[in-house]
Amino acid sequence: MPSKVLQWLSLVGIIWLQAINGTNTNFPAYSSQLKHAFSMSQLQLNNLAFASDAGKLFGWFSGIASVYLPLWLVLLIGSVLGLIGYGLQYLSITNQISSLSYIQIFILTVLAGNSICWLNTVSYLVAIRNFPRRYRQLAVGVTTSYQGLSAKIYTDVASSIFSFSNGTTEKAQAYLLLNSVLPLGVTVITAPFARVMKVGTVARDGGGDMNVGFVVMFVITIITGVYAVISSLGLIMSSSALKRVIGTCVFLLAPLLIPLAEKIRQVFENATLGLVFLNNLGQIAESRGSNNTSSLVSLSSAFGFFGRLMPSLLDYFFSRRRKSSVVSSPALIAILVAPMGGAFLLLLNSTHIVLYISTAIIGVCTGAITSVSVSTTSELFGAKNFSVNHNVLVANIPIGSFIFGYLAALLYHQQGNGRSDGKCIGTKCYRDSFLIWVFDLMPFNNRELFII
């Protein structure tokens, strides 16, 4: 899987972890009921609030563990500590075990507070190590902000699932149960993504095209915060707890759009542009004064044939010599981008010979990328669910074809204004389209040079 996809998935994973890691922040919601259930004084209750924070005094244990243990195990230890700390209190308050003494409750609360440190440690490590220096503070800031939503998430979930009134112990039971099991459940889901990547992979990547991703992430985060404020005030959704939970879940899932978009962009975007060009080949030829559209279509088809065959031939001959493929499928797609972009730039020249050369190059590259994309799916996501994964990614082709094709049609129509037949004649008709396609093929970190 490409490094950028893993980077964004790891960020989404720690966002989810942080969103449920503030178990100490919902203590005020059930403290009165807890005080009544365990017959505590106000002073003892205040000491419990301190006990949760006191757990951070032992946070260095998680720091040492993260050096010697895999991060998934650090996460699991942290969530298990929370399960024990809150779970035993839940079992006691529901009379499923013998009543706990105050000192036992205090120690369990310290343990539960310490569990937060373990999840935080993993979150900070992933945010710092998985992103280039210029983005580390952004990654840390965005993810830690979600911990501020924890109290709201637990409050809404408790209100939607459990039925209780403020004066009964059922409210304390609900929060203690959620505090014990919810972090464990989210940890199991996020553990595969919340991992540190190889530094070399991230360094080569450079993070040059992450600006857009972080802008989108900031927008999602801000909208999520605004929604949290408005829904807390009961201004929308008639203050229904279940609807608030659903709304919050939607916003927590929204960051997944970034790695999903990155995943799709890296595999089929390039083939889409070639298909859009070939679909518009008739109008492109006509606008340039060529009457040989049929020969151009035939030429693109013939070169497309060799393009589809080329990756297999290369793989066969080079693998026999080196006992392995010479390059990975994603890397081969990246290599094919350069000649395709060059072909679009060549089309800015109005000569007929350039039209034929560019058509041949784009036909070869499109055919090769289409062929390589099949093996790319298995390389990126494995062969287990190949049929599902490949068809999901293939869905990007009609979407991209529509978007780029529609944009090209708009630009064509704009340049052709004034003609009664609606046609556009001249290289100007598709000039802007070619430039946009070249711009889209370029790596984000090189696009500033193109603009200048």
- Percent of the chain scored above 70 by pLDDT? 80
For residue 184, is pLDDT > 90? Answer: yes
Higher pLDDT, 356 or 311: 356
Can you give the C-alpha Rg of the chain in angstroms? 29
Handedness of CA 69, 73, 79, 81 (dihedral sign): negative
CATH of domain 4-446: 1.20.1250.20
- pLDDT of residue 244 exceeding 50, the answer is yes
Contact between residue 386 and residue 375 where contact means Cβ atoms under 8 Å apart:
no
* Region 333-352 average pLDDT: 85
User: Over 70: is that where the pLDDT of 327 sits?
Assistant: no
Instruction: Give, as one character, the DSSP assignment of residue 239.
Output: G
pLDDT at 17: 93
pLDDT tier at 299, thresholds 50, 70, 90: confident
Best CA proximity match to 136, nearest among 52, 9, 270, 11: 11
User: 28-42, 75-89, 435-449 — which is least confidently predicted?
Assistant: 435-449
At residue 43, the pLDDT reads 87
Domain positions in the chain: 4-446
Instruction: For residues 413 and 280, give the distance between their C-alpha atoms in angstroms, rounded to a whole number.
Output: 13
**Least confident range of 31-35, 106-110, 312-316, 384-388:** 384-388
Arithmetic mean of pLDDT over the chain? 80
Q: Is residue 27 scored above 60 in pLDDT?
A: yes
Q: If pLDDT is split at 50, 70 and 90, which confidence band does 321 have?
A: low
What would the two tokens of residue 96 be? 């499923």
The answer to whether the CB of 326 falls within 8 A of the CB of 319 is yes
Band (pLDDT 50/70/90 cuts) for residue 210 is confident
Give the whole-angstrom CA distance, residue 58 versus residue 43: 23
> Span 366-389, mean pLDDT?
70
As separate numbers, helices (DSSP H) first and strands (DSSP E) second, the chain gives 21, 0
The whole-number average pLDDT for the span 415-425 is 73
Q: For 52-56, 118-122, 381-385, which range has the lowest pLDDT when averaged over its residues?
A: 381-385
Give the chain's length: 452
Confidence band, pLDDT 50/70/90 cuts, at residue 82: very high
Comparing 23-32, 141-150, 235-244, 416-425, the range with the smallest average pLDDT is 235-244
Percent of the chain with pLDDT over 90: 16
Q: What is the pTM of this model?
A: 0.66
Tokens 């869905």, residue located: 395
Q: Could you tell me if 132 and 106 are in contact, meaning their C-beta atoms sit under 8 angstroms apart?
A: no
Q: Name the maximum alpha-carbon separation found in the chain.
A: 93
Q: What is the mean pLDDT of residues 332-348?
A: 84
Residue 233 phi, psi dihedral angles, 5° rounding: -80, -5
Distance from the Cα of residue 299 to its chain's centroid: 40
What pLDDT, in 10s, does the model give residues 264-298? Answer: 665 575 767 788 888 888 888 888 888 777 788 88
Rounded CA separation 168/161 (Å): 16
Q: Give residue 281's Cα distance to chain centre.
A: 35
Closest by alpha carbon to 9, among 265, 182, 189? 189
Q: Are 100 and 176 in contact (CB under 8 A)?
A: no
